[in-house]
């Protein structure tokens, strides 16, 4: 009962990580737009279709390479492109084709946007189009950079100061920065606050994985840690739902930030993990937490920390114990993940799996957005398709083991990449199904690696290991869009790169130990 309450409270907040990671999909969307004009429009014309207002033209304007002709109330006739405009010298009949003189000018009167889908986005708010378009394209990469930095910083802090304090700070930070984003006054303050939001969101997700892993027993650890991902995916579904209902970006941001307010109000009651307290030799505090657990779970046989410690001391021997006193006070850093060749080889393999999982996940996801249809439904389904993926992963992990599940799914995703390359381009449905299968198989590996990393390392560097792995994962998510751009070189180049990385990761995983049913190590 105690572990269930702690678990569901912790993973509920993981929804907000999914929410903030994907929020920019709609918040930074770029609608149709043309140059602004110095006056009110009396009629608009596009390719011989005449309308009384510009709003009615947007549905007809399918190609942004073509211009729109508008007549102002004062009689002036303008040709409007996305990043330039031309005023016709002779203002007679507003025909679409015009051979006379015209004066071309820049968009000094701002821009006119299509408000049918979104009433307001950050792009329309600060005119992040044309020569400022690169600023809009920086919104997600800067967020991912914050995620990358936050994963390492908070993973390290959690090992030094404890899991509880970091969970308090990052969950409160998500709410505060999330609301602050909605009230930013310019683009640069928006990006800075979103960067801080990314750091605390990433920090929470990394530490929450370690936190629930250390509280849940071996029997339920697989399902518990994997379904943190399921709540992250539910956060993506919340983004789709709120995006469909709210079309103004700052109101949308407030609604998304309020979604997990209940956790912020009650997270102060979460206890520190006994594992971390024992690693810091705070035996009395660990005993208090264990007593509370026993009371909640109605366990009649008391569990004495002193007895457990005395057994460990007997096993270690007096000589080893002297060394332990000095090592427990030592502050650990990322170099400890390379302390010897055995651990270094393990770290390199784990980092490669993290990178490949993230790269493949986002390359397959970016390929699936070209399915067309309703973008809100598409995003909802992208979140929903992850739920069965984690159920199957959990069953396989418990029946076959962590390593024996990871190897076939990594190699399967590599084979699917090769298979897609041989599918004829006019077989659309088969290509879509193969891409979904690829995303499913890489998703299993992506979800599994969190738990596997936590089980491969001892308590003193566990958060740091998961945090640094998450950093490699974010490097993969930053590289993924650039990988997709390589389609212009060769259409199958992204799939070839993902396939090679997945195959290499699958082969190296053979050298990792199996952790199914093994107790977590402390030293």
Residue 360 pLDDT greater than 70, yes or no = yes
Residues 438 and 475 in one domain: yes
pLDDT at residue 189, as a whole number: 93
Residues 396 and 261 in one domain: no
pLDDT at residue 324, as a whole number: 46
What mean pLDDT do residues 41-69 have? 73
What mean pLDDT do residues 244-258 have? 89
What mean pLDDT do residues 36-42 have? 79
Residues 68 and 186 in one domain: no
Q: Kindly give the interhelix angle for 249-258 and 163-182, rounded to the nearest 10 degrees.
A: 160
Query: Residue 516 in contact with residue 398, Cβ under 8 Å?
Result: yes
Residues 380 and 508 in one domain: yes
Q: Percentage of residues in the chain with pLDDT exceeding 90?
A: 11
Q: Please, which pLDDT band fits residue 323 given cuts at 50, 70 and 90? A: very low
Query: Residue 41 in contact with residue 66, Cβ under 8 Å?
Result: no
Where is the domain boundary, 89, 116, 143? 116
Residue 45, domain member (yes or no)? yes
Minimum mean pLDDT among 26-40, 293-307, 485-499: which range? Answer: 293-307
Residue 322, domain member (yes or no)? no
pLDDT at residue 488, as a whole number: 67
Q: Percentage of residues in the chain with pLDDT exceeding 70?
A: 90
Residues 413 and 437 in one domain: yes
Residues 258 and 162 in one domain: yes
Residue 443, domain member (yes or no)? yes
The burial class, CB within 10 Å (0-12 / 13-18 / 19+), for 142 is: middle
Residue 314, domain member (yes or no)? no
Residues 294 and 169 in one domain: no
Query: Residue 468 in contact with residue 150, Cβ under 8 Å?
Result: no
Tell me the residue range of the domain where 282 lies. 274-309
Residue 471, domain member (yes or no)? yes
- Rounded Cα gap, residues 171 and 174, in angstroms: 5
- Which residues in 373-406 are b (16+ Cβ under 10 Å) and which e? eebbebbbbbbeebeebbeebbebbbeebbbebb
- Rounded Cα gap, residues 317 and 108, in angstroms: 79
Residues 461 and 383 in one domain: yes
The strand pairing partners of 254, in sequence order, are: none
Residues 112 and 243 in one domain: no
Number of domains within the chain: 4
Where is the domain boundary, 84, 116, 148? 116
Where is the domain boundary, 239, 270, 301? 270
- Mean pLDDT over all residues of the chain? 81
**CA triple 5-9-13, angle to 5 deg:** 165
The burial class, CB within 10 Å (0-12 / 13-18 / 19+), for 70 is: buried
Query: Residue 377 in contact with residue 496, Cβ under 8 Å?
Result: no
Residues 342 and 237 in one domain: no
| H or E, element range at 351 | helix 341-368
Residue 317, domain member (yes or no)? no
Query: Residue 282 in contact with residue 291, Cβ under 8 Å?
Result: no
Give the CATH number of the domain where residue 161 resides.
1.20.1250.20
Residue 325, domain member (yes or no)? no
- Rounded Cα gap, residues 33 and 114, in angstroms: 6
- Give residue-wise pLDDT tens across range 78-111: 888 888 888 887 766 677 777 777 888 888 888 8
Residue 329 pLDDT greater than 60, yes or no = no
Q: How far is CA 21 from CA 18, 230, 245, in A?
A: 5, 14, 19
Residues 1 and 143 in one domain: yes
pLDDT at residue 497, as a whole number: 93
Residue 315, domain member (yes or no)? no
Residues 241 and 178 in one domain: yes
Minimum mean pLDDT among 41-55, 140-154, 282-296: which range? Answer: 41-55
Highest mean pLDDT among 152-156, 184-188, 308-312: 184-188
């Amino acid at each position: 009962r105690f572990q269930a309450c702690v678990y569901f409270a912790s993973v509920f907040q993981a929804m907000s990580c999914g929410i903030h990671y994907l929020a920019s999909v709609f918040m930074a969307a770029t609608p149709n737009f043309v140059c602004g004009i110095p006056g009110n429009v009396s009629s608009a014309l596009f390719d011989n279709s005449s309308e009384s207002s510009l709003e009615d033209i947007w549905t007809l304007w399918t190609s942004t390479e073509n211009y729109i002709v508008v007549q102002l109330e004062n009689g002036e006739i303008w040709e409007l492109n996305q990043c330039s405009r031309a005023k016709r010298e002779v203002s007679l009949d507003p025909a679409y084709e015009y051979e006379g003189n015209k004066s071309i000018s820049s968009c000094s009167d701002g821009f006119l946007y299509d408000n049918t889908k979104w009433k307001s986005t950050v792009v329309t708010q600060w005119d992040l189009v044309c020569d400022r378009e690169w600023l809009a394209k920086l919104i997600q990469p800067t967020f991912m950079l914050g995620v990358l930095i936050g994963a390492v910083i908070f993973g390290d802090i959690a090992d030094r100061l404890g899991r509880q304090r970091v969970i308090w700070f990052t969950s409160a930070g998500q709410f505060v920065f999330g609301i602050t984003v909605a009230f930013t006054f310019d683009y640069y303050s928006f990006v800075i606050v979103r960067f801080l939001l990314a750091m605390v969101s990433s920090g929470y997700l990394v530490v929450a994985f370690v936190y629930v892993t250390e509280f849940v027993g071996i029997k339920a650890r697989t399902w518990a840690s994997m379904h943190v991902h399921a709540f992250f995916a539910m956060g993506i579904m919340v983004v789709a739902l709120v995006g469909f209902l709210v079309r103004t970006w700052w109101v949308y941001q407030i609604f998304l930030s309020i979604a997990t307010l209940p956790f912020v109000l009650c997270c102060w009651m979460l206890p520190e993990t006994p594992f971390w307290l024992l690693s810091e030799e705070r035996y009395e505090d660990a005993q208090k937490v264990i007593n509370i657990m026993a009371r909640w779970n109605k366990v009649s046989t008391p569990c004495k920390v002193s007895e457990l410690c005395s057994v460990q001391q007997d096993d270690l021997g007096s000589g080893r114990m002297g060394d332990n006193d000095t090592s427990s006070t030592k502050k650990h850093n990322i170099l400890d993940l390379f302390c010897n060749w055995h651990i270094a080889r393990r770290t390199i393999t784990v980092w490669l799996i993290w990178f490949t999982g993230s790269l493949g996940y986002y390359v397959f996801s970016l390929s699936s957005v070209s399915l067309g249809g309703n973008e809100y439904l598409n995003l909802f389904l992208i979140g929903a398709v992850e739920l069965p993926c984690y159920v199957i992963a959990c069953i396989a992990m418990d029946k076959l083991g962590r390593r024996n599940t990871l190897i076939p799914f990594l190699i399967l995703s590599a084979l699917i990449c090769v298979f897609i390359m041989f599918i004829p381009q006019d077989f659309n449905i088969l290509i879509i199904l193969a891409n979904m299968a690829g995303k499913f198989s890489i998703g299993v590996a992506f979800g599994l690696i969190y738990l596997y990393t936590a089980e491969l390392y001892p308590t003193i560097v566990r958060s740091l290991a998961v945090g640094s792995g998450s950093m490699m994962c974010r490097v993969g998510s930053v590289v993924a869009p650039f990988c997709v751009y390589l389609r212009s070189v060769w259409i199958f180049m992204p799939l070839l790169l993902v396939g090679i990385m997945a195959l290499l990761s699958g082969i190296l995983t053979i050298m990792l130990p199996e952790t199914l049913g093994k107790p977590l190590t402390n030293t």
